[in-house]
Amino acid sequence: MSDTPLVLFREDSRLTPYQHALEAAGIEASYRLPSTDLEMQSFTALVLTGGTDVNPELYHQSSRPETDPPDVERDICELRLIGQALQLDLPVLAICRGMQILNVSRGGTLQQHLPDDCGHRSYPSDRAEPAHSVSLEPDSLIAAACRSLTLDVNSRHHQALDRLGEGLRVTARSPDGIIEAVECVDKLFVVAVQWHPEDQVFRYLEQLQLFTYFGAVVNRRSRAHHK
């Protein structure tokens, strides 16, 4: 087994913030494009990054006009690797699209387009700028990681979780009730957030602490595996 987490990405232009966030937390990772050659047995953890919308056919819906054209290769690759990671009980950190495909992988559905006037569709030039606050469940992994029960987050998504997937628990919501974080109830560390903490780590300590906590879990599991 490699001693590094796998970070899946599609857009080169958006990779740098993830690299900087993981490096700031002391995490050395392997960055890969979607591929049929990838297997989670070769990595210590999985990081799912943001990107285009998940194909609605995967949750048995027709695509709305506002929904992105599907990235079939990425969807198939991520669904397979999520399944492997959960079976192996590897740590998983899922961000934005990552949270949505995690939910779909567990049989959940998505709200394909949020109302145009809601506060989740903020696209400022400063990607770290908060769009709204979220409230965290006090007994959740994300609250333990961030050491806080409220966060100011930079959500910029036009889709959201609708029906919750099997084995997932809501651990953060925005003031209007939109699901902003979930975790797997029976796994070591599977945490998914709807915002982009990678863009906020150098301005908000709580966001850096999420990556640091993730890294600590990965290291503990790796040491236990090698004993």
For the annotated catalytic residues, the residue numbers are 96, 196, 198
Rounded Cα–Cα distance for residues 55 and 40 (Å): 23
- Rounded CA-CA distance 168/107 in Å is 10
Backbone angles phi, psi at 65, to 5 degrees: -60, -30
Q: Are 99 and 46 in contact (CB under 8 A)?
A: no
How deeply is 195 buried, as exposed, middle or buried, from its count of CB atoms within 10 A (0-12, 13-18, 19+)? buried
